[in-house]
Amino acid sequence: MALSLKVPIDQAALPQSDHQVEIMGRNDAFSFWKLPEQWRAALESTIGPSEAAAERLLFEQYLPEIDRRPPSAMRAYYRVKRLIPQGLRHRLNSVAIRARRRLEFPSWPCESALVEFWRTWVRQSLEVFGAQDGWHIGFWPDGAKCSIVLTHDVESRKGFDRMESVAEIEERHGFRSAWNLPLAQYPIDWQRVEQLRLRGFEFGAHGLSHDGRLFRSHRDFAELAPILERLAAEHGLRGFRAPSTLRDLRAIATMAFDFDSSFADTDPYEPQPGGTCSLFPFHLSRLVELPYTLPQDHTLIHLLRRSPLPVWTMKAKWIASLGGMILTLTHPDYCGDGVYLKAYEELLKHLAEIETAWRALPSEVAGWWKQRAQLWLQVENGRPSITGLGAARATALRLSEQPLAN
Ligand SMILES: [Zn+2]
C-alpha cells in the first residue's frame, strides 16, 4: 500500500525522520485511529511508515534542523527588548512580521495536510479488507464529537490582575480555562491562584521569564530547566508552554511535565514559525502535546491588526466539523478588557453553541489521550467492545460516522 503525504515542499530538502526521542505513546495512524486489534497484523507494514510520515509534520521535521530551534537573531532582540516600550515593540514586530517571507507550508490559518494523511491512510486500510466501513475508538470521551480547551499565558502583573474578570466571563458561559504563569517574571500571588483553582481553573508553567534563554543553548537549558521544574513541582503545575513559543522539541521531551502546549497546528507569525498541522493531541516522549489551534489574540490584534473574532469563529467551525480540538491561546494582558474582551466573550458564546463538544482542561485532555492510547478495540460478530482502564468513557464509532474519515 502506497502511503503518500501531499506536502507542497521540496521533499529532498527534508531531514531524515528522527527517532531519537523516546516515545511512550505512538503517533502512527493505527494508534491515532485505534482500529480493531484483529486488523493490526494485516496493516502492520503500513503502521511504521505512517508514524514516520505523521511525525515529519508533528515534530516539524519538514523544517530545516536549524529552524526547529529558537532563531539566533532572537538573542539580539532580547538584549534590547526591555528598553523598548510595549506599544512601540508591537508596532516594530508588526512591521517585521509583515515583511518576513511567509513559509509556503504550513498554510494559515488552516492547514489540512495531516487531516488528509489520516483520512487517506484509514480509507486505504478499509480497502485492504475490502470493507465499506469499520469501527474505531472515538477521539473524545463520553460520546463527545470534538473538544474545546481554553488556555491563557499571563505575561505581566497587569494580565495577572485581569484573570478574575476573564474567569468570570468564562464561568458565565460554562467554561473553565488554564493559565500559564512565567514563574520568575513578576511576583505571583499564589493565594489568588488557589482561589481560581477552587473554582475549577488550572495553572501551568510559562517558563521562568520571556528572556529567550530557556532553549537558547544546552548550557542555558541545563541551568534553567531544573529551576523551572522545581518551582513548577512546588506549585503543582503539570503543564508547560514555552515563553514566546520559542521551543526545542528534544529538550521539551525531557522535561518533567505531563503535557506541553508550545506548538501550534500552524503559526507562521511567531518568532519561531512552524506548526505540527495537528488538530488533535499527540505523544511527545512521555508528554502529551496539546497544540494550540486557534490563532493567538496577540497575533491577530497586534501583528496583523485584524479583528480576531471572524478568524476565530471560522477556524473553530472548521475544527469542530472535523471532530478535532479547538485550543485557544489568549492573554489577559492583551485580551482582558475593552473591545478585545468583548470579542473573546463572543467567541465563548460561539463555542458554547457547539453542544457536542467536550469542554476540558489541558490536564484532562492529556490524561484522556494517554488513557485512550492504552485502550483496545475488539470486534466480534460485528459487535465492538473496548477494554482497558477508562474503557467506560470510550465510545466505539463507525468510521462512516466520523467526519475525519470521510
Ligand atoms: Zn508569553
pLDDT digits (tens, 9 = 90+) for 314-327: 999 999 999 999 99
Q: How far apart are CA 193 and CA 150, in angstroms?
A: 17
pLDDT of residue 6: 38
* 174 HSE (CA, 13 A, CB side): 11
Name the β-bridge partners of 205. 181, 240
pLDDT tier at 1 (50, 70, 90 boundaries)? very low
The type of residue at 246 is L
Helix or strand or coil: residue 211? coil
Instruction: Give pTM, 2 decimals.
Output: 0.91
pLDDT digits (tens, 9 = 90+) for 176-215: 999 999 999 999 999 999 999 999 999 999 999 999 999 9
In this prediction, residues 357-371 reach a mean pLDDT of 98
**Stretch (H or E) spanning 123:** helix 113-128
In DSSP notation, 56-78 reads HHHTTTTS-GGGGS--THHHHHH
Distance from residue 115's CA to the centre of ligand 1 (Å)? 28
CA distances, 54 to each of 3, 5, 59 (Å) = 11, 9, 8
Helix or strand or coil: residue 158? helix
Cell 474582551 sits at which residue? 341
pLDDT digits (tens, 9 = 90+) for 58-102: 999 999 999 999 987 766 666 667 667 777 777 777 666 666 767
Distance from residue 153's CA to the centre of ligand 1 (Å)? 5
pLDDT digits (tens, 9 = 90+) for 237-284: 999 999 999 999 999 999 999 999 999 999 999 999 999 999 999 999
Ligand 1 ion: nearby residues, β-carbon < 5 Å: 153, 243
Q: How far apart are CA 38 and CA 257, in angstroms?
A: 34
**The three grid cell numbers given for residue 83, joined into one nine-digit string:** 528598553
Distance from residue 61's CA to the centre of ligand 1 (Å)? 24
Distance from residue 1's CA to the centre of ligand 1 (Å)? 44
SS3 per-residue string spanning 388-406: CCCHHHCCEEEHHHCHHHC
In DSSP notation, 251-284 reads HHTTSS-SEE---BSSBTTSSS-B----SS-EEE
